[in-house]
Structure 1
Amino acid sequence: MIVTVVAGNPKPASRTLDAARHVAEALAGRAPDSEVDVVTLGPSLLGWGDETVKAAVETVAGSDLVIVASPTYKATYTGVLKCFLDQIAGATGLKGVTVVPLMLGAGPAHALAPDVFLKPVLVELGATVPVQGLYLNEKTYDEPDAYTHWLDLWKDIVLASATASTSASVKRA
């Protein structure tokens, strides 16, 4: 199973990236195979045809499990993440990819943001999002019990979906 994390924080090497790594490791039992720290792609995100952006999109599309993470900005995900997601081809760009929407925020007021704002765009891009998104407090995200309840509820379903994706991609090859 190929696992990738995508962090859409305007700050490189952010807590958002760290949280996505934590979730990927908790799900897969190991570090992710790839990381896309979107902000490091820079102004290339604003145009079309950049090879570095294309490679990052192909990495995500070629994964079985992707954690897509963003801090909560103005009650939704960041513009830099939106620019990256816009580079993914339509309704089939993430076909066969199991995705977990993850958002960090300062308090519980935006706890539904992963499902209300991030999940719909991921589904529109063809991703399989089999469970509710994960919202973490930015101050406690790195505490193991911060996401234990979510893992207890959803880990088996996420892994079953990603494993099914892996089996399907092997059959297509």
Structure 2
Amino acid sequence: MATAVKTVQASSLVVFASPTFKATYTGLLKLFLDQFAGGTGLRDVVAVPLMLGAGPAHAMAPDLTLKPVLSELGGTCALPGLYLIDSTFTEDGVVRDYATRWEPVVGALTRLR
């Protein structure tokens, strides 16, 4: 666990991903995030909240549940969260479109580091 935490803290960009569980992220991700100090644990990390779900009902979950936690831990959460439908995300181009759209912002933010 300590190695994973150090790897995240040394990274410029980290995608924090979780399946949707009861309209929020999983307890396993929560246990991992608990390893980071509040306010400073993700300092200098551009954090992207990503969640997978079965349908569009929880499309706001990355921004409403995961993004505030990443921000509270000191992550730079300048990008909108990404919600993917688990049965189609490899086929519908959403990830590619998201990466293309936000690549300039990520580049600018990581250069500031």
- In the other structure, the counterpart of 1:107 is 55
Contact 1:99 1:127 in 2 (8 A): yes
Query: In the alignment, does 2:13 pair up with 1:65?
Result: yes
| Distance (whole Å) between structure 2 residues aligned to residue 78 and residue 133 of structure 1 | 16
Amino acid at match of 2:85: N
| Distance (whole Å) between structure 2 residues aligned to residue 160 and residue 143 of structure 1 | 29
Q: Which runs of 4+ in 1 moved over 2 A?
A: 146-153
- Per-residue deviation, 1:141: 1.5
Unmatched tracts of structure 2, length 5 or more: none
Counting only pairs closer than 5 Å after superposition, residues 60-139 of structure 1 correspond to structure 2 as 60-139=8-87
- Per-residue deviation, 1:107: 0.7
Q: TM-score, normalised by structure 1?
A: 0.62
- Per-residue deviation, 1:105: 0.5
Aligned length: 113
Counting only pairs closer than 5 Å after superposition, residues 10-21 of structure 1 correspond to structure 2 as none
Structure number with greater CO (CA < 8 Å, separation at least 6) is 2
Query: In the alignment, does 2:95 pair up with 1:150?
Result: no
Q: For the aligned residues, what is the CA RMSD?
A: 1.3
| Distance (whole Å) between structure 2 residues aligned to residue 163 and residue 71 of structure 1 | 30
Amino acid at match of 1:134: L
| Distance (whole Å) between structure 2 residues aligned to residue 144 and residue 108 of structure 1 | 14
Structure ID, larger Rg: 1
Amino acid at match of 2:9: A
Unmatched tracts of structure 1, length 5 or more: 1-52, 166-173
Contact 1:140 1:146 in 2 (8 A): no
| CA offsets 1:9-34 (integer angstroms, 9 cap, x no match) | xxxxxxxxxxxxxxxxxxxxxxxxxx
- In the other structure, the counterpart of 1:23 is none
